[in-house]
A and B are shown apart, each in its own frame.
Chain A
Amino acid sequence: MNFLKRTIPLVVAFVMGVLMAIQYYVPHRISQDLLEVVSRWDRIIAGFAVFIGAYSLFHLHWTRIKRKVEGWGYSIFVYFGAIITLIFGFLNGGKFFWNDKQEGTMFDWLYFYVQVPAGATIFSILAFFIASAAYRTFRARTKESTILLIAAVIVMMGRVPIGNYISQYIPAVADWIMAVPNLAAKRGILLGVSLGAIATSLKIIIGIERSYLGGGD
């Protein structure tokens, strides 16, 4: 059992890790085909995994409805939305699902006039959250937050016409903040991230990091 659950996954991780690392340096068609095959496997597995995800979602909400846990009414909407979408998806504008997807069907309508606006509504909340988060952060209580406040005010002013109206130097200073200290910090983080990613990949390839298989070491 340990062989199946531990050894085989570790061998697969090692072989595929080394193989794909080498693949990056080999431009030959055979190497490109290998990448394509592996990517195709990934897409196939992802396709099947959708069923697992759907099962998880429906099972969870069915349990919530059955046990009448707090807010179980929302779970009915999950089923309602899924069934309606499935019905119109299968109907495919009267051509049924075994034909190519038809345009301008009720399925499209649900997507464009329900899902997209609902998503946009959630996204629009971000503006208010930015304002509230900015209010909390920009209180000049410490030296660091004061620097942050000053930098933020300059960058904000430099990005709107009134900044240039007050002084032509404000947009220039804003650009300098973005191009020099901001970029330097960003690159510093990226360098650290890249090294961390290399170290993590290596740990997984040589099998000393096994926690992703479950159970720590």
Chain B
Amino acid sequence: MNLLKKSFFISAIFFIPFSTATVLFAQSPAFLIPPAEFTAFDTPNDAGETISLTWSASPNDSPDVFYVIYIDKDKNGAFEKEAIRIKSNTSYRTSAPEIYGYKKKNNDYHYVQIFPKKVYNGETLPKKQTLYFKLAMVSGDTKITLDTIASASARGNWLHTKKINNFVIMIILSAIILYFIVHARRNPDMFLRKIGGLDAVDEALGRATEMGKPVLFVHGLTGMGSISTIAATSILSRIARKIADYDANLKVVNNDPIVMSVSQEVVKESYLEAGRPDAYNPDNVFLVASEQFPYVAAVGGIMTREKPAANFFIGYFYAEALILAETGATTGAIQIAGTDAYTQLPFFITTCDYTLIGEELYAASAYLSREPMLMGTLRAQDVGKGLLIIILILGTILASFGLTFITHLFEAF
């Protein structure tokens, strides 16, 4: 029994201090190994508002240890202003692939960005003001400050070097498009594959003329800033021209006042060009509602009351797509939809007679006008697609063998 007691006491004497030390060390290390390579530099590819700081990771990095960066305008200043405080197991170079790429050693270095203007509470600092930084490591009451003073000044950049890949692609695609525009001028007889939805436009307009019922053109929900709305107004122009020729009745519903104004002008000019300015009625191009579901209710009401012979849903649509198209389907109208909103495409395909899928929306204007220069762009789009397919196949093969450089080459920042 005595031996047992002795053993217990001996164990307790050794075990208690050891376990206490372990717990204390986990919460707050007794000594801190300072990081190294503390440097500051102007953040590349920005408007000149941030300074980047980097330093090597320390073996002490843990959630209980913090890095604090102090800022001062003077190299010999007191460095009392705290610019940023981060947990020492966060903010690595991996968070900035646009600067450091995808190297494995990025995990061994910390990286933060400082917004001097924010640190100085919105104070406008002089241009090219050099700022000085000191790094401290804090754990509980223990604090070590590095002697190194890093300095940098934030400067605006005139070229986003990480967007050069995007720029090059844009130049190549633009060159292809321009080449085919010039080529189409010389060779106007260009073959175009048939687009069912666009071939059916004449059929739909003819039906509306014969039935003496209106044609309803429904814009999507986006404004004139959206490229799909611009494409929609181009299609509207072609349709309005044909309607003016057929002497049918066109109604254009809008949910954006600017789109409405543009549509009014487009339809008016089309009627004028067709030699039928008298047939144009500005009240037929109108705003029904500026909110999504009131727009749906109003357009649905027009469909059920006036029973148009043909409905065109052209532009960018959201949840209203199916409600509109299904309401139109119940009225027995020929329905042609065109959208680049891929989430709504299945609904249009289900409920409309013809659907222009994605790029066909942009091809419509050229297809309907048959103007050689516009048709040249369609050929260019096909060549561009071919190029992208080759890159995709190449990228897939290389990625399958663990070579990801092509992925990073085309990365967007």
Contacts and interface: CB of A to CB of B under 8 A. Distances in A.
A214 B231 contact: no
Contacts of A56: 257, 260, 286-287
B234 A211 contact: yes
A85 to B, nearest CB: 12
A193 B288 contact: no
Contacts of A122: 293-294, 296-297, 323
Given A133-B350, A136-B350, A201 B47 contact: no
Contacts of A208: 181, 373-374
Interface string A41-65: 0100110011111101101100100
B387 to A, nearest CB: 10
Interface string B295-321: 011000100010000000000000100
Interface residues of B, number: 86
A208 B191 CA distance: 20
State which size class the interface on A falls in. 35 or more
Interface string B92-126: 00000000000000000000000000000000000
Given A202-B177, A215-B269, A28 B157 contact: yes
Interface stretch (B51-59, B63-71, B355-363): B355-363
B34 interface: no
Contact of B362 (A115, A130, A197): A197
Contacts of A204: 230
A119 B262 CA distance: 27
A200 B385 contact: no
B156 A195 contact: no
A45 B288 CA distance: 19
B265 A198 contact: no
A196 B362 contact: yes
A71 B45 CA distance: 59
A52 B261 contact: yes
A217 B380 CA distance: 20
Contacts of B371: 217
* Majority SS at the chain A contact face: helix
A175 interface: no
Given A32-B47, A192-B358, A198-B177, A126 B365 contact: no
Interface stretch (A19-27, A97-105, A157-165): A19-27
Contact of B381 (A42, A196, A209): A196
A216 interface: yes
B388 A191 contact: yes
A21 to B, nearest CB: 8
A86 interface: no
B156 A119 contact: no
A167 interface: no
Contact of B340 (A74, A136, A196): A196
A126 B325 CA distance: 11
Nearest to B155: A28
Given A27-B157, A28-B156, A213-B269, A130 B293 contact: no
Interface in A178-217: 186, 189-193, 195-204, 206, 208-209, 211-217
Which 8 pairs, one residue from A and one from B, show the smallest C-beta to C-beta distance?
Answer: A214-B269, A53-B257, A196-B362, A215-B269, A192-B359, A49-B257, A211-B237, A119-B293
Interface of B: 45-49, 156-160, 163, 166-167, 170, 173-174, 177-178, 181, 223, 225, 227, 230-231, 233-234, 237-238, 241, 254, 256-258, 260-262, 265-270, 272-273, 283, 286-294, 296-297, 301, 305, 319, 322-323, 326, 340, 342, 345, 347, 350-351, 357-359, 361-363, 365, 369, 371, 373-374, 377-378, 380-381, 384-385, 388
Given A54-B257, A212-B237, 16 more contacts: A52-B257, A60-B283, A189-B340, A189-B359, A193-B340, A195-B173, A195-B359, A195-B388, A199-B381, A202-B377, A206-B178, A213-B269, A214-B266, A214-B270, A216-B273, A217-B369
